[in-house]
Amino acid sequence: MRKLFLDNLWLKLAAILLALLLWFYASTDRSYEYTLSYGLELVNLSSELNLAEPLPDEIKVMITGKGKDILKLLLIKGKRLKIDAGDFPAGEHRLQIKKEMITIPEELNLSITEVITPRVLSINLQKVTEKKVPIISQLSFTPEEGYFIKGEVKFTPGKVRVSGPSEYVEKTMFILTQKKEYIGLTRPFSESIELVAPSSYNLKIFPQGVNFSVDIKKGMKTRMEKLPVKVINLSSGRTGYLHPQTINLELLGEEESISGLTPESVIVVIEGKGLKRGKTKIAPSVRVPRDIVLLKSEPDSFNLEIR
């Protein structure tokens, strides 16, 4: 049986290959309909304009013709529909995609029978503007016990440049840092941090990362007792009754700052704006001098009755 199979093996293989070629030729000589994708590209756009919304990555069209020509077209790389935006002004444009806009090599006997999607292209163009905005920190610092942060986090540069479609630039008021936590700090600290990229389309920031520094100081503690607590901004004709009426605070700061503290330099208030008559439990607002850290307040909330 094996000998029968191996006799004239090459002749048999050649016959099979010839049969496959004849089948392939007959199949590709028939006419077909085929859905084909073309890339989409905006060309000759003014440097003063930006797309404010993304365009579709591709368009889909229906083509008809012989299979061999369709196959040749499929093998061509970089098939794209190029939209000439050289004369487009700023604003929203609706462009109908027509069959005649799709190019096919002349040597291929193919035709576009239908634009499937999108049939209408929305193009939102806006003038390119730029401005500088501040950086908002999402960094978290926890110094070692007995240490504190003096002042604010400093960024270099202090602002970043935002550039892109005018609508998005106008609405951008700040740029956030990435979130990161630093624990157990005992000395001044600096590092670089990436900024959060804007979510708006074609909105860019420069630079994309900044350096920051934070001043960590060793502090001394002090305790201030029986500081008065005031209720402020109550509606006209209303009176607040507070229990207890004083607060004890534990504070941390440099020796010079701590030694200069007086009861008058610490303000403790309870905001009464918008509160209705009746009883409530509410936390106070404690205002301490710059470079002083509030460690603890006793009590941390008060019983307030408004009449």
pLDDT in tens, 237-247: 888 899 999 99
The answer to pTM > 0.85 is: no
Angle, alpha carbons 109-114-120 (nearest 5°): 135
Could you tell me whether strands 267-271 and 220-228 are parallel, antiparallel, or unpaired per DSSP bridges?
Answer: unpaired
pLDDT score at 93: 94
pLDDT score at 7: 54
pLDDT score at 2: 53
CB atoms under 10 Å from CB of 302, counted, come to 21
Residue 242 near residue 260 (C-beta atoms within 8 A): no
pLDDT score at 21: 47
Mind listing the pLDDT tens digit for each residue in 12-27?
Answer: 455 555 554 444 454 5
Q: Which domains does the chain have, with CATH numbers?
A: 2-118 (no CATH), 127-218 (2.170.120.40), 221-306 (2.170.120.30)
Residues of the chain with pLDDT under 50: 4, 12, 20-24, 26
* Three-state DSSP class for residue 230: strand
pLDDT score at 174: 96
pLDDT score at 23: 47
DSSP type of residue 22: H
β partners of residue 271: 232
Which residue type is seen at 223?
R
Give the residue among 125, 129, 130, 143 at the shortest CA–CA distance from 44: 125
pLDDT score at 9: 53
CB atoms under 10 Å from CB of 164, counted, come to 22
In the numeric block, the tokens 């930006």 are attached to: 50
Dihedral class, residue 87 (left if φ above 0, else alpha if ψ from -120 to 50, else beta): alpha
pLDDT score at 15: 52
How far is it, in rounded angstroms, from Cα 139 to Cα 152? 11
Rg (C-alpha) for the chain, rounded Å, is 37
H or E element in which residue 288 lies? none
